[in-house]
Amino acid sequence: MTQTMRWFGPADPVQLAEIRQSGATGIVTALHDVPNGAVWSRDAIAARKAMIVAAGLDWTVVESLPVHEGIKTGGADCAALIDAYRESLRNLAAHGITVVTYNFMPLLDWTRTDLDWRLADDARALRFEWAAVAVYDLHILKRPNADRDYAPDVRKRAAARFATMSPDQRHALERTIIAGLPGSEGSFSSAALAAAIASYADIDADRLRAHHVAFLRAVCPVADELGIRLVVHPDDPPFAIFGLPRVVSTEADLAALFAHVPNRSNGLCFCAGSLGVRADNDLPGIVERLGDRIGFLHLRSVQREGYRTFHEAAHLEGDAGMAAIVAAVHDLSLREKRSIPMRPDHGHRILDDMIRAGNPGYPLLGRMRGLAELRGLERGIAHARGAVPHNIEG
């Protein structure tokens, strides 16, 4: 695996020099200052790459080139937005970008209900709790007909919990959930989210799948010509939330997507954490069966706590079964003679992370620990099997 770390650009509190010292050789980033739907210019891409290369690192993986909501809803501006997306792909290819990550989740890139959940060892993790989602959805967002999405006992517990929450606690839950909205830094409110959800009122899972397929059929021929793998990130979490459909949650979803759009450029960002929230997803099996589609790896683990509730576990712990996943990736690398870009996804806040500013889920030391553990796991598997995967680092 090619070891990388995500970097959020010049405003990221984690510095490129620190990432280089972690042992990573590559950076995964995006032009986060460019509005969704706008073209990424060649000059802006060149400037970002020059900054990364000057730090002794490389940039070949974009995460993410966002798909505008107008494409997901099939709005009147869909064709123009797809033209802009294709132009961004051309500009990225001109500067050596070979993997472009995206997702097709309506509105929310990810959702958590606690960004600072205390673990037994006092480290801090991200957590998703279904009951807390119900509190927000039913009593703060007040989405019409939201009660249909929750079992009676969940609704009852949500009402009791909301009644005991202080105004500060209610506000904190609101801001935590809205943190997963693109551009949420002070620009989104529950009222804005409610209005955005309403724009999906006529879009069910089947229609969203059709829009996803239409998008790929429009952009994959260009990606094929450019030699870019366009890799979809699975839904996070992998089930419907706030009445919004999710269509990239299971192996069956992925297999259908590849069957509908067989272009070589139509690929997968294998996120062990997102897929691993569902116990019915066979993670090593997905690597084995869909490995030729995998262009990027997010290696993280979650600990399932019960119905639709989980927290981010340490990278080699939790429910993912990381040893079996990395063993499957090792076999894939040997079989296809390629090194797949990998990053340690998310991470606990530990040690000096507690006093450093950072983006939720992306502390320096917690991710560095995860990278070291994953590096050691890969090397141990290679040693035990007596074969070195293609381009294994170190």
Q: Per the omega criterion (within 30 degrees of 0), is the bond before 190 cis?
A: no
Q: 225 is written with which tokens?
A: 């010509």
Cβ-Cβ contacts under 8 Å for 349 (sequence gap 6 or more): 116, 123, 124, 125, 358, 363, 366
Among residues 85, 102, 150, 362, the one annotated as catalytic is 362
Among residues 68, 311, 346, 348, the one annotated as catalytic is 346
- Class of residue 332 by CB neighbours under 10 A (exposed 0-12, middle 13-18, buried 19+): buried
Closest CA to 277 of 151, 155, 111, 85: 111
What is the longest distance spanned by two Cα atoms in the chain?
60
Closest CA to 334 of 264, 381, 270, 372: 381
Among residues 12, 150, 271, 315, the one annotated as catalytic is 271
Contact (CB, 8 A) for 19 and 5:
yes
How big is the chain by its Cα radius of gyration, in Å? 20
Among residues 233, 315, 330, 348, the one annotated as catalytic is 233
Among residues 211, 212, 298, 348, the one annotated as catalytic is 298
Q: Is 139 a catalytic residue?
A: no
Do you know the residue count of the chain? 394
Q: Is 315 a catalytic residue?
A: no
- Class of residue 8 by CB neighbours under 10 A (exposed 0-12, middle 13-18, buried 19+): middle
- Class of residue 24 by CB neighbours under 10 A (exposed 0-12, middle 13-18, buried 19+): buried
In 3-state terms, what secondary structure has residue 347?
coil
Q: Please name the residue that has the structure tokens 């499957």.
A: 328
Q: Is 362 a catalytic residue?
A: yes
Q: Is 200 a catalytic residue?
A: no
Q: Is 298 a catalytic residue?
A: yes
Among residues 12, 235, 253, 345, the one annotated as catalytic is 345
Q: Is 233 a catalytic residue?
A: yes
Just list the catalytic residues: 233, 271, 298, 345-346, 362
